[in-house]
Amino acid sequence: MAAIIDNIDLGQKVQDVKLLLEQPLGMVVLVLGIFVFLAIIIILVLRKRSIRLKEAENLRSQLLQTFKLDRSKNDNISDLIGKFANMVVSPGYYFYEYDHFENAYLLMNSRINSEMGAVGPAYSGLLSYKKETYEMPQRFETSSIPAKAAVLREGDVKLLVLPVGEKIGFICIGPVSRYYRLKRKMRFILNKGLSGIQTILYLMIQNDSLKLQVSDMEKKAQAISNMKSSLSDYSDILTALASIARTTSQADGIFVLKFDSASITMPVISVEEDATKDLLTKNADSFSVILDLIGSEEYVCIKQNDKDFIEIPDCIRALGIKQFGIVDISYKKFHGFACYYFAEEVKLESYLKSTMMVMVKKIGEVLENYQMYHGIVNSYVSILKMVAETLDNVSAHTVGRSEMMYRYAYVIGESLGLSDLDKQEIALAAYLSNIGVIGLSSSLFLKSDKYSDEEFEMMKLHCEVGASIIESTLGNPNIARYILEHHERIDGFGYPRRLKGDDISVGAKILAVVQFYTAKLIGREGRQPIAFYKGVEQLEAASGTQLDPLVVTALVRWLEEKKRKAIDEGTTLGPCWEMRCSPTNICSSCPIYGKSGRKCFEYPENNCKAHGNECDTCFVKTEFLERKMR
């Protein structure tokens, strides 16, 4: 019995052991099964995501391939939106571009799917659909456009909206079917694919905008240049008119007088020999009698036997004349007379007299237009200088810089022995050298840290924009050329045209030196100015590569002369308000202004910080201290 019981217990124990062994194994199998299942799920998800990423990358690649640098923005965008014809069936594909002035998205380009077949560009406006009466809006408010691809409802119409970067633009496809839904997979592919073209699309739009501004300025410049060309040769026009009048009237000589309240200009134009011109010019004061001789008449003819003949200026009668005529050619604000004389008495036929009168009166009209043109130019100079000064005042560091560049350019011109006209034009070009930045976005020219590659390329356009502004306002090709070329380098690595050596104008070479040197002296936001003589050393180090050696030598020579004078007098190179070219509104309230004896940095208080200056880094002080140490 005991043996039977023992056998039963042993069998139970064996069974219990088997159960114990079987239970963990089942758990292991179960856990492993779960892990395998999860692994398969993860692999499938990753594979699915990989496929989506690959499809998104393919879309991005296709979209990028549509951009061609040698084509216009419209052509590129037209091809871009056309790429979606195979992805989404719709009557039309559109591109809306963000407009900063409107703060809205404006319709800029469209492609129409004719009969739901081949997609073709439509630049002349939206075409009406044959099956859809819905017309795409001309604008969308920024708040109505989602940040990611989505289906947008416009009333009963569905539109597929594909944003391409914040405040850049979006592609709009529609109307799409009322049953259309944007599936998750498609949304992922579209968002990923479009994200890869944001930068190139932004740069293309910005570049096109700047090109349009430059093109517009160039057109204005050409129109003004044409007018300027004819006006600059006004003496040739006047000579031609005077010669015709002289031939028609059979006169031996003709000249024009300009009268104003203060003086007589004599002669404005003359077709006499040089000796006669000199004689008339030297006796200009005697021509005031012309006013009495003609009185209120439009035309008078005085012959040798007339009582008024003796009143004709001696210098005219000394020419042996026997007849003298005066025609009032005043026109608008121009006040003047055409005078002609004859060696013999001549009776003019009425038609010849009329022809002669028409010709000489045209002289007055040409002179009035010339005066008006120069008045406009002078007013533009004032406006542009005001704009340049305003740009200087944007940062405390650059206050007075345009005036500083003007003065340095002028003294370099003097040191090089240039003519007065050349010095004046180059100095004005220096003052206006940065005027082109007003054609760029404010965020660009106000940026204090380093430019990105794209921003630098855009910033370089300020030379061309500035030159176009000058051409379209002042009509002065010399000043425009100096501004266009002032970032060219002697070694040929400058911009915008990579000119080299003697191909660069002298004015541009001077502007390059002036900009280089003043930038070192005054510093900018985030960059302290360097010591005075360190600036001179860097100037000389750039000579022959970036800067012209003759121009650098001319500036250094002038600085040495200033230094010798300052050594003799024991002073700084000049008063701080003069050296810094600070405006009166800053200097007038400064305790230093207008005082002599003490140096500016010896005063406990001053207004130097108003133009971004600290005494310890100011070139007025650093030059003096370095000179004392040498």
**DSSP string of 594-611, one letter each residue:** T--SS-GGGSS--SGGGG
Helix residue ranges, H only, 67-106? 73-82
Rounded Cα distance, 26 and 155, in Å: 61
Query: Which position has the token pair 């003069």?
Result: 578
In 3D, which of 103, 217, 178, 90 has the Cα closest to residue 474? Answer: 217
Local structure of 469: helix, strand or coil: helix
> For residue 143, what is the DSSP state?
G
* Cross-sheet strand order for the sheet of 253-259: 264-270, 253-259, 336-342, 323-328, 299-303
12-16, 49-53, 359-363, 398-402: the lowest-pLDDT one: 12-16
Q: Both tokens of residue 477?
A: 């090709």
- Per-residue pLDDT band for 306 (boundaries 50, 70, 90) equals very high
- Per-residue pLDDT band for 1 (boundaries 50, 70, 90) equals very low
pLDDT digits (tens, 9 = 90+) for 229-246: 444 455 666 676 777 778
pLDDT digits (tens, 9 = 90+) for 198-207: 877 877 777 7
Query: Which position has the token pair 């050619």?
Result: 329
In 3D, which of 347, 300, 338, 343 has the Cα closest to residue 322? Answer: 343
Most confident of 237-241, 431-435, 550-554, 593-597: 550-554
pLDDT digits (tens, 9 = 90+) for 447-496: 666 666 666 767 777 888 888 888 777 878 899 999 999 999 999 999 88
Amino acid letter for position 465? V
Check residue 504 and give its pLDDT. Answer: 95
- Residue 35 makes CB contacts below 8 A (sequence gap 6+) with none
Cis bond upstream, residue 175 (ω within 30): yes
Please tell me the number of Cα atoms within 13 Å of 196 on its side-chain side: 18
Most confident of 15-29, 49-63, 142-156: 142-156
* Whether this model's pTM surpasses 0.75: no
CA–CA distances in Å: residue 97 to residues 158, 163, 468: 20, 10, 26
Total Cβ atoms within 10 A of residue 253: 21
* Mean pLDDT estimate for the chain: 78
Check residue 448 and give its pLDDT. Answer: 60
Check residue 521 and give its pLDDT. Answer: 83
State the average pLDDT over residues 269-293: 76
Q: Is the pLDDT of residue 281 over 70?
A: yes
End-to-end CA distance of the chain: 125
- Residue 499 makes CB contacts below 8 A (sequence gap 6+) with 485, 488, 492
User: Judging by beta carbons within 10 Å of its beta carbon (0-12, 13-18, 19+), is residue 246 exposed, middle or buried?
Assistant: buried
Where is pLDDT greater, at 433 or 350?
433
State the average pLDDT over residues 158-178: 89
